């Protein structure tokens, strides 16, 4: 993409540079948090996953009836900002009720709520960022962030083990403080990307990545 890259023409505009940073940090958060779920969900019985799966599928199905109204830039921004608030709640829920049934079920329910919007967010993003090179850049940031997150999690756990902190429950509890800081960065980047401004353009350095 030569020359300069403009934000989406419809108002309010999206700050592409910060949105790219958001995609990277969001995936980094997912990479760091991946291993925590297996320990957090230990108190839950298998039938809860079945109930959760049914609720997830039903919720996502119901959401499709509103696509004609919400597959637009403005609803996408509002919904995505709301979705990015949810991780704060399940991080705090776990820190308040670590390794208990209550903490596990709260985290599970909040995760399922975010998953309901998964298909919608993907489709809306594709429609809003319709240029192939921008979509390619978004997915590159996503994969890089995920790999970095997995690497950071590995190093974090390795450091704890070097300090003789071997109990996995303690390790998972401690990494949630890192996750909270990461989610603050995630929310800042998406909030700033959606902040209304005039005549935002992206030149030289950003365009070279395409």
pLDDT-wise least confident of 20-34, 61-75, 158-172, 193-207: 193-207
Torsion of CA 162, 163, 167, 172, to 10 degrees: -90
State the pLDDT at residue 109: 97
Q: Can you give the pTM of this predicted structure?
A: 0.86
CA–CA separation, 91 and 70 (whole Å): 28
Q: Can you give the length of the chain in residues?
A: 210
Phi-psi region of 199 (alpha: psi -120 to 50; beta: other; left: phi over 0): left
> What architecture does CATH give domain 5-208?
Up-down Bundle (1.20)
d(CA 53, CA 49): 6
pLDDT at residue 5 in the model: 39
Q: How confident is the model at residue 3 (pLDDT cuts 50, 70, 90)?
A: very low
pLDDT of residue 197: 65
Q: Is the pLDDT of residue 1 over 50?
A: no
Domain boundaries, the chain: 5-208
Does residue 8 carry a pLDDT above 70? no
State both tokens at 103. Answer: 């903490």
Query: Is pLDDT of 10 > 90?
Result: no
């Amino acid at each position: 993409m030569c020359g300069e890259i403009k934000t989406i023409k419809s108002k309010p505009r999206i700050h592409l540079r910060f949105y790219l940073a958001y995609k990277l940090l969001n995936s980094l958060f997912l990479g760091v948090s991946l291993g925590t779920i297996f320990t957090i969900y230990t108190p839950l019985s298998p039938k809860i996953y079945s109930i959760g799966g049914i609720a997830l599928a039903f919720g996502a199905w119901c959401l499709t009836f509103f696509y004609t109204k919400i597959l637009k830039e403005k609803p996408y921004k509002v919904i995505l900002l709301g979705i990015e608030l949810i991780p704060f709640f399940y991080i705090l829920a776990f820190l308040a009720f670590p390794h208990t049934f209550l903490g596990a079920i709260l985290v599970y329910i909040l995760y399922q709520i975010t998953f309901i919007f998964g298909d919608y967010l993907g489709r809306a993003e594709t429609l809003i960022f319709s240029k192939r090179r921008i979509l390619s850049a978004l997915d590159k940031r996503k994969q890089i962030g995920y790999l970095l997150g997995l690497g950071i999690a590995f190093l974090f756990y390795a450091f704890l083990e070097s300090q003789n902190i071997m109990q996995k429950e303690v390790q998972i509890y401690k990494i949630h403080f890192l996750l909270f800081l990461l989610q603050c960065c995630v929310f800042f980047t998406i909030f700033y990307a959606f902040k209304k401004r005039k005549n935002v353009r992206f030149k030289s350095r950003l365009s070279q990545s395409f």
